[in-house]
Amino acid sequence: MSEAKLAGIHHVVLTVTDLDRAIRWYGDLLDFEVLFRWDTEDFDRCLVAHPSGVILGLTQHFATDSNASFDPRQPGLDHLSFAVASREALEAWSRRLDAAGVDHSGIKVTPRTGFTLIDFKDPDGIQLELYLGETTS
C-alpha cells in the first residue's frame, strides 16, 4: 500500500461577498470561532474553527467580477454538509434555525439513501446541510 495517504480534510475555503457578515453568521448560528484573519492585495480571509475540529476559510475577493451569486450547478462547490450525531440533534437544529430566522428544508429523509438531513443557505446562498449519516430504518 502507498505511503501517500490522506488523513482527512484540513479545511474548506468559501468565497463570500461580505467577510464581516460571514464571520458573524457562521459564529452566531453555527458556533465557529475566529482563529485568525489576514488581508492581502487580492482578498481578505478569516479562518474560523468549530469545536468539532472543522476549519473554514471565509474569503472576500476584490476582483471586479466577484459579485456573481453562488450557483451550485457551476463547477466548484455544490454544498457543504456538517455531520450531526442523532435525530434529536437535527430536531434541536431545526428549532435553532427557526429561532434565528433562517429558512430551511425542515427534517427530511432522502428517498434513495434513507439518510436524514436539513438543508439551508448561508447569506451568500451557499447551500449547507446538517446531515445524519445513518438510515432511519
* 93-130: pLDDT as tens digits: 999 999 999 999 999 998 888 899 999 999 999 999 99
CATH architecture assigned to 78-137 = Roll (3.10)
Same fold, 6-66 and 78-137: yes
Question: 14 — phi, psi (to 5°)?
Answer: -115, 140
**125 neighbors 80 (Cβ within 8 angstroms):** no
User: What pairs with residue 120 in β-bridges?
Assistant: 104, 128
Q: pLDDT class for 133, splitting at 50, 70, 90?
A: confident
Return d(Cα 26, Cα 20) in angstroms, integer.
Answer: 10
What pTM was estimated for this model as a whole?
Answer: 0.84
Closest to 130 measured CA to CA, from 99, 88, 101, 74: 88
Q: How many CA atoms lie within 13 A of 73 on its CB side?
A: 0
Question: 52 — phi, psi (to 5°)?
Answer: -75, -10
Alpha-carbon dihedral of residues 1, 10, 117, 26, nearest 10 degrees? 180
Q: Domain 6-66: what homologous superfamily?
A: 2,3-Dihydroxybiphenyl 1,2-Dioxygenase, domain 1 (3.10.180.10)
Cell of 132: 445524519
Return d(Cα 76, Cα 126) in angstroms, integer.
Answer: 11
Q: Where are the domains of the chain?
A: 6-66, 78-137
